[in-house]
């Protein structure tokens, strides 16, 4: 058996290399991908109540693709991402619902964030981050692309780039 030591070394080396490959968090696959998005209804942040009502969420019969963005005011990438989401919301608001979920945050801080960046797409408030766990989130920001039938097509962890968002929207736009 010792005669084949180079093969053993190669095999063990290969196993070690394979074991050391840590998955890129941006490539973590969601178990929700291809499955119906969890439905929910949460209170909207105050500035959106006049236009959208007191509560909003993902529910059956929306008949519109949804870009669900989980964010918090204390999260730096959320700050760079917010103007991009606002711009795309302005561009596609008739075809796609951009919905923010503010998690594990103080409502007053969330309101300041919304005002600071002039966000017009609606955001709901989830202080405990319960909906994040329903969607199996790892942190903020995280974005889920849901098609018009309510099926999760993509999950994006971390900050979105313009090209990535454009590519995701291409999958859901008619």
Tell me the two tokens of residue 25.
């968090």
Residues 6+ apart with CB under 8 A from 113: 73, 78, 79, 82, 102, 119
Interface residue with another protein among 52, 104, 106, 159 (CB under 8 A) is: 104
Specify whether the CB–CB gap between 59 and 136 falls below 8 A. no
* Number of residues binding to another protein, judged by CB under 8 A: 17
Contact between 130 and another protein per CB under 8 A: yes
Contact between 32 and another protein per CB under 8 A: yes
Contact between 47 and another protein per CB under 8 A: no
Contact between 43 and another protein per CB under 8 A: no
Q: How far apart are the first and last CA of the chain?
A: 62
Nearer to another protein, 52 or 74 (CB): 74
Tell me the two tokens of residue 1.
């058996």
Interface residue with another protein among 138, 149, 166, 171 (CB under 8 A) is: 138
Burial of 144: CB neighbours in 10 Å, binned 0-12, 13-18, 19+ = buried
Contact between 129 and another protein per CB under 8 A: yes
What residue ranges bind another protein (CB under 8 A)? 1, 29, 31-32, 103-104, 128-130, 132-139
């Amino acid at each position: 058996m010792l005669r084949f030591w180079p093969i053993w070394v190669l095999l063990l080396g290969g196993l070690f290399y394979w074991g050391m490959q840590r998955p890129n968090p941006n490539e973590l696959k969601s178990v929700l991908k291809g499955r119906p998005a969890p439905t929910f209804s949460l209170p909207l942040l105050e500035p959106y109540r006049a236009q959208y009502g007191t509560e909003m969420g993902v529910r059956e019969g929306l008949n519109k693709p949804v870009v669900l963005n989980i964010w918090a005011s204390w999260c730096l990438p959320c700050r760079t991402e917010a103007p991009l989401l606002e711009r795309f919301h302005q561009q596609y608001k008739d075809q796609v619902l951009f919905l923010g979920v503010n998690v594990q945050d103080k409502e007053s801080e969330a309101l300041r964030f919304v005002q600071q960046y002039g966000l017009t797409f609606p955001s709901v408030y989830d202080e405990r981050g319960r909906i994040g766990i329903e969607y199996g989130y790892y942190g903020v920001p995280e974005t889920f692309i849901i098609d018009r039938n309510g099926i999760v097509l993509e999950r994006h962890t971390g900050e979105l780039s313009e090209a990535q968002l454009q590519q995701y929207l291409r999958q859901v736009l008619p």
